[in-house]
Amino acid sequence: MSVLVPEGRQPENQRFRPEDDARSVPPSELAMWFSDGWTVTKRNLTKLKRSPDMLVFAVLQPVMFVLLFSQIYGGSIQVAGTDYTQYLMAGIFAQTVIFGSTFSGSAMAQDLKDGIIDRFRTLPMSSSAVLIGRTNSDLVLNVLSVVIMMATGFAVGWRVNASMGSFFAGLGLLLLFSYAFSWVMALLGMSVKSPEVINNASFMILFPFTFISNAFVQSQTLPSALETFANWNPVSALVQAVRELFGNVGSEPLPDAWPMQNAVPMVLIGAILMLVVFVPLCIRKFASISSR
């Protein structure tokens, strides 16, 4: 079957060359790179549209956590200076975007298993466009999930007690962290042998990080060793930053740990470091599996 080559492409070599991403590209090729990334993004979103059960289950668990903790356990958990529902929602938002980012890993592993990556290899496209499209589509999924979580939070009494600028800053911080973490999971997805492995591994790792944190209870209430872990847990920094920006903090003093005292800078530094480290690693890993 012949491959249609858009005008402006070079048909003589239909296998993309991973090394092209490492060199400086002229504006026309840069425009093609954006076009390739957008095309793959649309492909992934179309696949999601045709599998609505994936979206349903992606948001069902966080909705259940909101209802469970706010309506059943909320009366038994006290937070000084604020209602527990106000305290809870930042933890739910953080948990939602972190677990939503795991789709990048499982989807990459599934595409490798199904041979989709082999089909991409035959097209005159940028190798990194596959990764850009994968992480972009998961960012869209996380945006939709957060919107649904916010609607659920409003239904149970959660409110934003800050300015609109601070609210959008908190939303942007959530999505930036989730996008950076998607690249971590994409690398993991290309390193395992099956989607089942990454699903099991991600849940075994992320559940302790989300629950041994300040997402659902104050870290000061944990045993000393777990309190130290929670205070330096990056999930705790994300939750604390979102609470501050949404105006949902209580009156109890923050722990003395640097990440808790500087939560917003901590999240920004962590997200930038993840992008700087894992974007090149993902591109290199994709190039190596594409050249086999």
What are the C-alpha distances in Å from 124 to residues 32, 114, 145, 211? 10, 20, 34, 45
**Sign of the alpha-carbon dihedral angle for 35, 38, 40, 42:** negative
What count of other Cβ atoms lies within 10 Å of the Cβ of residue 193? 10
- As a whole number of angstroms, the distance between CA 149 and CA 152 comes to 5
Question: Which residues have C-beta within 8 Å of that of residue 95, sequence separation ≥ 6?
Answer: 62, 65, 210, 215, 235
What pLDDT, on a 0 to 100 scale, did the predictor assign at position 2? 43
- Longest Cα separation, the chain: 68
pTM for the structure as a whole: 0.82
What count of other Cβ atoms lies within 10 Å of the Cβ of residue 3? 10
What pLDDT, on a 0 to 100 scale, did the predictor assign at position 196? 76
Question: Which residues have C-beta within 8 Å of that of residue 264, sequence separation ≥ 6?
Answer: 173, 241, 244, 245
Strand partners, 79: 82
What pLDDT, on a 0 to 100 scale, did the predictor assign at position 290? 63
- Please name the residue that has the structure tokens 């190596």: 288
What pLDDT, on a 0 to 100 scale, did the predictor assign at position 31? 67
User: Strand, helix or coil at 82?
Assistant: strand
Helices (H), 101-223: 102-114, 116-121, 127-155, 164-191, 195-211
Region at 132 (left for phi over 0; alpha for psi -120 to 50; beta for the rest): alpha
- As a whole number of angstroms, the distance between CA 78 and CA 73 comes to 10
Question: Tens digit of pLDDT for each residue in 13-50?
Answer: 444 444 444 444 454 556 666 777 777 787 777 777 77
Q: What is the DSSP letter of 253?
A: P
Four-CA torsion 159, 161, 162, 165, nearest 10 degrees: 10
**Sign of the alpha-carbon dihedral angle for 221, 263, 75, 58:** negative
Q: Which residues of the chain have pLDDT under 70?
A: 1-33, 51, 54, 118, 120-125, 127, 290-292
- As a whole number of angstroms, the distance between CA 130 and CA 118 comes to 12
What pLDDT, on a 0 to 100 scale, did the predictor assign at position 29? 58
The values of phi and psi at residue 37, to 5°, are -60, -40
CB 183 within 8 Å of CB 103: no
CB 144 within 8 Å of CB 72: no
What pLDDT, on a 0 to 100 scale, did the predictor assign at position 124? 67
What pLDDT, on a 0 to 100 scale, did the predictor assign at position 94? 94
- As a whole number of angstroms, the distance between CA 275 and CA 180 comes to 5
Question: Tens digit of pLDDT for each residue in 66-107?
Answer: 888 888 877 788 888 888 999 999 999 999 899 888 888 888
CB 219 within 8 Å of CB 212: no
